[in-house]
Chain A
Amino acid sequence: MAATAKPAVQDEVTYMRPVSNCAGCGDTKVSWSVLEGMRRYNRERKLKGKDRYEVVYVADRGCGNLQGWHDYRIVDTIFFMGSGVIIGEGIKESCSDKQVVITASGDGGYNFNLNAIKIAGKNKKWGAINVIYNNFVIRMTGGQIPLETDFDKEGVSLGYEEVIHVNPFHVNDNAELFKNLIDRYLKKQKVMVVADGVCVLDMTRDARAEGVTMGHFAKTAECLDLKFSQEKERMAREEPEKLKDLPRFKCRQCGIGLRCHALLNNDPSICQACGACKQFPCVTDCLAFEGLSFADSISIDQLKTMSKT
């Protein structure tokens, strides 16, 4: 009997997952604002080349940061749970003067390692911009009854000069805010930015339960095609079966910039009505929004009143 070959032992393969954060995820909108804020800071001061400042985006574990990384590379480090702020403090010790360390964690990470938040708040050597994605504690992980976290009182007692609450879907206003905060960071001031209500799935569900109909984005025909028109024509002649794989849009900058796969796929049915795209600086003015969005308000009561009027 012929000897059978022993199968080679193979290590388990862990595959890269596709982007799976929600189309309107507030976390990624905030990170866009942070990076846009830095761009505006440099542009305003006409800083070029080696004079430019750069963001080091030090993130904690959490769905927004983890998923946000996969296709868009919006974060620079993610280590263990609760580590974002403390790793950031370490990086401040060894990074260049032209690097601005911005730390981001969820409210779970905030409570997990409150010590680190305090260390950053009390460290007189450096400034601090600490972004908290507040989905009211562990909503995403099963809807447990949350602890009450009073960022306004806690932030000040932890050493932060100001606690600023933002609607994450006001991407343009937030970019302006971060531009100013970078200036304050360089003056060694400490600010906590709390992005409230970032779980868009939760908000959409609540709005629906209250009878509020949310809107969706719309694109003009001009946007739909055709960066790849010549290639498309060639394919239509020679390889029509591959047509479906071609990108359909002119630039896709809005989808890439805001990390929104509803925009990327031009599919309003998966739009979560965050409204960030309303403020996106589309170069050809192709973007519009029809109806109510969470950029109008993240309060369901207010949205309800607005929908009646």
Chain B
Amino acid sequence: MKKEAVIDLGKTRISGNHSIVWGGLEAGVRVTTAYPGAPISELQGTYEQLAGNLRRDNVFSQKVGEALDKAGYQLTAHWGQTTNEPNAVGMALGATICKGDSKEREFLTEEEWNLVWGDTVFGKEDKKRIPVGSRVMTSFKHLGGNTAADALRTAMNVIPYVGGLGIASGDDRQATSSQTQQDNKVLFAMHYRMPVLELHSPVVANRTVRNCYRLFEELGTPFGVIMNYNLAYREVTVDLTLNLDLEANGRQKSFKKDPQFLVTIGPHIRPREAKWLARLLPMIRKKIKENYEFLGSEVVQYGSKPKTMLVVLGPFREDFRMVGHDEALRRRLESKFGDVVAVAGDVVFPQPEELYTELVSKHPIEQILVFEEGYTRVVYLQLLDMVNRLGLNVKVLDRTIPYEPRIYDRFSYIDHILAA
């Protein structure tokens, strides 16, 4: 089988959900599970159409479906069967822990490989290749993060074989079509301690998702991607080019027995959990710093001596991109803050502390303003903790909006930044 297939499908209108599907397909995702709910239903609905379980009823799934059929892409989608979120995550977990194949190291050093894989059943592998299996995506709306807690908690901290699992959460932060508001950033970051990113634009979300699979699979951890209500549904026109990783899609299947990690009893869990917090999480933080741009994030500087750092996430980041194209906005930014350095990142947790300390030592930064959406202020709290812990002489100011504005509010994220 060919290792890669590049298929140009021309200009196509896609939504944020489609963009995540696109990224998953480019990563070679073979199994998808979900429990539907607004705003994320469309994601698994599209996978169902691509897998042939439902009629392909839109241009995206028709074009992409035809291309996948021609490329011999393997895809299984379980939606009708998974009757709730714990079962969706449980099935995804089962499909992920089977590591029947291996691949070359791309991101880990030998020492880091030893840390992640050294005490597993693959620990004696001479060439220190990465054990891999099916790449899997599971999705649910924000409330699913609660009901699937048992499964998600087991997937984190306890099992080293869950690399290759991507979890997409559609956050309805204003309860537009949900019983309650919720910001899943706090669940993923603070409760599960899972690497999590907030996708900021349907135009580039696919790249971030694809690269997350590549990085976090090696690190042996699942990752979460979150999109808010508006971005999940918003449609944009893109040049749709499928760059399919057929090698990942066609990997050998097999279950390797390793009860030391796959039988989750107290004596197995405790040492693993301690190792996760003390050694693995700092290593993941370091790898995120090293691959910050690879994960779709960037640092932009306006002026030579910035005293203010702006941290912009999610929809704030999407609007902030306009500053680069609009001279009037650029002047407003300058008159408000003077020179600035902006950390425009998708990463919510763990924050790459080294990046901030580098920037603070390089520039005369006096204040960090954090712009994120959602009541949990996860990034703000992490940066506040970092500044206090490391004794940095910088103020961290919270400029969060605790909800997702509805479309008829005519809320402008860039105006909120410039008025801060």
Which A positions have Cβ atoms within 8 angstroms of B? 11-16, 56, 58, 66, 69, 73, 75-83, 86-97, 99, 113, 115-116, 118-119, 122-123, 125
Interchain CB contact under 8 A, B270 and A75? no
A86 contacts B265, C-beta separation under 8 Å: no
B92-116 residues at the A interface, CB under 8 angstroms = 92-98, 100
Q: A77-B97, A89-B91, A94-B98 are in contact. Are A11 and B82 (CB under 8 A)?
A: no
Q: A83-B90, A88-B94, A90-B33 are in contact. List 18 more A-B contacts (CB 8 A).
A: A66-B265, A76-B259, A77-B97, A77-B262, A78-B265, A79-B154, A83-B86, A87-B93, A89-B94, A90-B91, A90-B93, A90-B96, A93-B31, A93-B134, A94-B133, A94-B255, A116-B90, A119-B82
Q: Does B84 contact A (CB under 8 A)?
A: yes
Decide: A86 near B90, CB < 8 A? Known: A93-B134, A94-B98, A118-B83: yes
Known: A86-B94, A115-B84. A96 touches B253 (CB 8 A): yes
Question: Which residues of the partner chain A approach B83 to less than 8 Å between Cβ atoms?
Answer: 115, 118-119
Pair A76/B262 contact, Cβ less than 8 Å: yes
Complex: how many Å from CA A99 to CA B31? 18
Picked from A11, A77, A122, the residue with its CB within 8 Å of the CB of B263 is A77
- Given known pairs A80-B150, A80-B151, A90-B90, the reply for A56 and B255 (CB within 8 Å) is yes
Residue pair B253, A122 in contact (C-beta under 8 Å): no
**Shortest distance from the beta carbon of A170 to any chain B beta carbon, whole Å:** 27
**Size of the chain B interface, CB-CB below 8 angstroms:** 41
Task: Kindly state the separation between the CA atoms of A119 and B267 in the bound complex, as whole angstroms.
Answer: 32
Known interface pairs A16-B267, A77-B263, A86-B91. Does A95 touch B81 (Cβ–Cβ under 8 Å)?
no
Bound together, the chains give a CA A92 to CA B255 distance in angstroms of 9
Complex CA gap A123/B82 in Å reads 10
Which B residues lie within 8 Å of A82 (CB)? 86
Q: Report A64 CB to chain B, min CB distance, Å.
A: 13
**How long is the Cα–Cα vector from A76 to B261 in the complex, in angstroms?**
10
Q: Distance (Å) between the CB of B217 and the closest chain A CB? A: 14
* Chain A CB within 10 Å, residue with most, of B91, B133, B259, B262: B91
B265 / chain A contacts, CB cutoff of 8 Å: 66, 69, 78
Give bound CA distance, A91 to B274, whole Å: 27
A113 to B100, Cβ gap below 8 A? no
Residue of A nearest to B150 (CB): A80
Q: How far apart are A51's CB and chain B's nearest CB, in angstroms?
A: 15
Q: How far is the CB of B401 from chain A (nearest CB, A)?
A: 36
Show 26 A/B contacts (Cβ-Cβ < 8 Å), sorted by A.
Answer: A13-B270, A75-B263, A76-B257, A77-B97, A79-B154, A80-B90, A83-B151, A86-B94, A87-B91, A89-B94, A90-B31, A90-B92, A93-B94, A93-B95, A93-B98, A94-B31, A94-B95, A94-B96, A96-B254, A113-B86, A113-B87, A118-B83, A119-B83, A119-B87, A122-B81, A123-B81
CB contacts under 8 Å to A, within B58-107, are 76, 81-84, 86-87, 90-98, 100
A116-B87 contact, Cβ under 8 Å, with A11-B270, A93-B31, A94-B134: yes
With a CB–CB cut-off of 8 A, which chain A residues contact B154? 79-80, 83
**CB-defined contacts of B97 to chain A, threshold 8 Å:** 77, 90-91, 94
A15: chain B residues within 8 A (beta carbon) = 267
How many angstroms between the C-alpha atoms of A99 and B252 in the bound complex?
13
Chain B nearest CB: distance from A62 CB in Å?
A: 12
Q: Which residues of chain B from 246 to 301 have a CB within 8 Å of any chain A CB? A: 252-255, 257, 259, 262-267, 269-270, 274
Min distance, Cβ B142 to any Cβ of chain A, angstroms: 21
Contact B264 A78 (CB under 8 A): yes
Q: Please, which residues of chain B bring their CB within 8 A of the CB of A12?
A: 270
Within the assembled complex, what's the spacing in Å between the Cα atoms of A147 and B86? Answer: 24
Report how far A272 CA is from B151 CA in the complex, Å: 37
CB neighbours (8 Å) of A14 from chain B are 266-267, 269-270
Contact A73-B84, Cβ < 8 Å, known A79-B93, A87-B93: no
Closest to B76 in A: A93
| Chain B, residue nearest A91 (CB) | B94
Which residues of chain A are within 8 angstroms of B100 by Cβ–Cβ distance?
A: 94-96
- Within 8 Å CB of A123, what residues of B? 81
* Distance A154 CA – B134 CA, assembled complex (angstroms): 33
Contacts of B92 in A (CB 8 A): 90
Name the distance in Å between B102's Cβ and chain A's nearest Cβ. 14
A87, B90: Cβ atoms under 8 Å? yes
In the bound complex, residues from chain A placing their C-beta under 8 Å from that of B86 are 82-83, 86, 113
Q: How far is the CA of A305 from the CA of B86 in the complex (A)?
A: 48
Question: What residues on B are CB-neighbors of A88 within 8 Å?
Answer: 94
B305 to A: closest C-beta gap in Å: 44
In contact, B87 and A86 (Cβ under 8 angstroms): yes
B65 to chain A, nearest CB (A): 20
The answer to whether B259 touches A99 (Cβ under 8 A) is no
A91 touches B151 (CB 8 A): no
**Residue of B94, B255, B270 contacting most chain A CB atoms (<10 Å):** B94
The residue in chain A whose Cβ has the minimal distance to the Cβ of B135 is: A94
Given A76-B259, A87-B90: A95 and B82 within 8 A (CB)? no
Contact status A119-B255, CB under 8 Å:
no
In the bound complex, residues from chain B placing their C-beta under 8 Å from that of A116 are: 87, 90
Q: Which of A16, A89, A97, A113 has most B Cβ within 10 Å? A: A89
Bound-state CA distance A92–B266 (Å) is 27
Complex: A14 Cα to B269 Cα, angstroms: 9
CB-defined contacts of A83 to chain B, threshold 8 Å: 86, 90, 150-151, 154
**From residue A188, how far is it (CB to closest CB) to chain B in Å?**
15
Task: State which of B81, B93, B259 has its C-beta within 8 Å of the C-beta of A119.
Answer: B81
Cβ 8 A contact of B264, one of A79, A115, A118: A79
What are the residues of chain A within 8 A of B98 when measuring CB–CB? 91, 93-95
Give Cα distance in the complex from A76 to B98, angstroms: 12
The 7 closest A-B pairs by CB, nearest first: A90-B94, A94-B98, A86-B90, A87-B94, A90-B95, A95-B255, A90-B91
